[in-house]
Amino acid sequence: MQDIEFLYRDDDVVAINKPSGLAVHRGWADDDAFAMTLVRDALGQWVYPVHRLDRGASGVLLFGLSKESARALCERFERREVQKTYLALVRGAPPPELLIDHPLKPDNSDEPQAATTNVRLLSQLGRYAWVEARPHTGRLHQIRRHLKHISCPIIGDVKYGKGEHNRLFRERYALHRLALHASRLQLPGLDVHAPLPAELANTLEQLRQSEQERSTSPQ
Q: How confident is the model at residue 214 (pLDDT cuts 50, 70, 90)?
A: confident
**Out of 54, 101, 107, 191, which one is annotated catalytic?**
54
CB 60 within 8 A of CB 7: yes
Asked if 191 is an active-site residue, the reply is: no
Q: How confident is the model at residue 103 (pLDDT cuts 50, 70, 90)?
A: very high
pLDDT of 23 over the 70 cut = yes
Q: How confident is the model at residue 191 (pLDDT cuts 50, 70, 90)?
A: very high
The arrangement of secondary structure in 82-212, i.e. its CATH architecture, is 2-Layer Sandwich (3.30)
* pLDDT tens-digit readout, 34-62: 999 999 999 999 999 999 999 999 999 99
Write down the CATH superfamily of domain 1-79.
Answer: Pseudouridine synthase (3.30.2350.10)
Strands (E), the chain: 5-9, 13-18, 48-49, 58-64, 83-91, 97-101, 116-125, 128-135, 180-187, 190-193
Q: CATH 3.30.2350.10: which residues of the chain? A: 1-79, 82-212
Q: How confident is the model at residue 33 (pLDDT cuts 50, 70, 90)?
A: confident
pLDDT averaged over the chain?
94
